[in-house]
Amino acid sequence: MSEKLQKVLARAGHGSRREMEAWIAAGRISIDGEIASLGDRIEADAKVRIDGRAISIKSEEDIVCRVIAYHKPEGEICSRKDPEGRPTVFDRLPKTRDSRWVAVGRLDINTSGLLLFTSDGELANRLMHPSNEVEREYAVRTFGEVNDACIQHLRMGVTLEDGPANFDKVKAAGGEGMNKWWHVTLSEGRNREVRRLWESQEVQVSRLIRIRYGSIELPKSLPRGGWIELTLEQVNYLRKTAGMENENRTLMGTDKHSVARAKVKSAKIKRAVHKHKATAGKNTRQRS
C-alpha cells in the first residue's frame, strides 16, 4: 500500500513532516530518478534519494521507535548545523542506523534541561502539534519584584505579541531577596513563551531549566550534555499521548549484563561531557 512521501521520510527520522514537505518543495528529493512533488505517494520498492544520496525506505513494522532524554546545556542551539560554528544539541547524541534523531520541540540557546529526541519522525510531529497540549514544567530563577498581583496575572493570563498566554501553575521554590526560584507549567510551546510571560510583568529570567515533559522527568543523575534511552513503558506513554499504537520492541536490554553495560555507559557519558567541555574551551581560546 502506498504512503505519502513526507510521512515515510518523517517516520524514518529524516525530519518532521513539515521539514520533509519543505525539502520536497525545494526539489531536494527524487523518486525513481524523478524530482518528487508535494502529494506524491510511494510504494515500498521505490528508489528515493535526498540531495542525490540514496536512502533506505522502511515500513512502519520495520522501524523500532526509540526515544532518548538529553540534558541540554546552555549555549547549545537546536539545529543540526550552525553557520557560526556554535555547538548544537545533535553533536553528542548516539549514532543511529538508517535513521536520524528528530528533536521533540526546541529549547533556546540560553535554556537548559530536558530535551527529547526520537528515531520516529511521525511521533515527533504529533507530539509537537498544538492539539496535544503536553504539559511542560520549568524551574525558573527570576530577578525582580514578584508580588501576589504579578502571580495572579501570570495564572489568569496576559496578552503577548502573538496572543493571550498564561501559566497553568506557578509555585514558589525558594530563593532570597530579588532572586527567587519558581516552578511553572504550561501546555504549549511557543517561542520563548516562559521568558516572555515573566517579562510582561517586568521580571527578568536569569535561569531557565526544563525539568519535565508530560510524565517524563529530567533524571537528577543525568549530567549536562548526557543522554539516556527511555524505557519501553515511557516510549509507549509518549506514543499514547500522540494517539499512536504501542511499540512492542525495544533495543534496551533487561538482563544483568545490560545493567552492567548501562553503568559503563554512564561513566563514558560523564567522560565524554568533560572531554567535550575541554575541547570547546580550547577552541574558544584559539578563536579569541
- Residues annotated as part of the active site: 108
End-to-end Cα separation, the chain, in angstroms: 57
Q: What are the beta bridge partners of residue 55? A: 48
DSSP label at residue 132: G
Q: What are the beta bridge partners of residue 175? A: 180
- The C-alpha atoms of residue 60 and residue 244 are separated, in whole angstroms, by 12
Number of neighbouring beta carbons within 10 Å of residue 225: 24
Q: What are the beta bridge partners of residue 102? A: 118
Per residue in 11-43, is it b (16+ CB within 10 Å) or e — as a string? bbbbbbbebbbebbeeeebbbeeeebeeebebe
Q: Are 88 and 78 in contact (CB under 8 A)?
A: yes
For the chain, the residue count is 288
- The residues, ordered by sequence, that sit 6+ positions from 122 with a Cβ below 8 Å of its Cβ are 7, 10, 11, 17, 244
C-alpha cell at 267: 561513566
* CA-based nearest residue to 42, from 57, 28, 54: 57
Return the C-alpha torsion angle 128, 57, 24, 106, nearest 10.
20
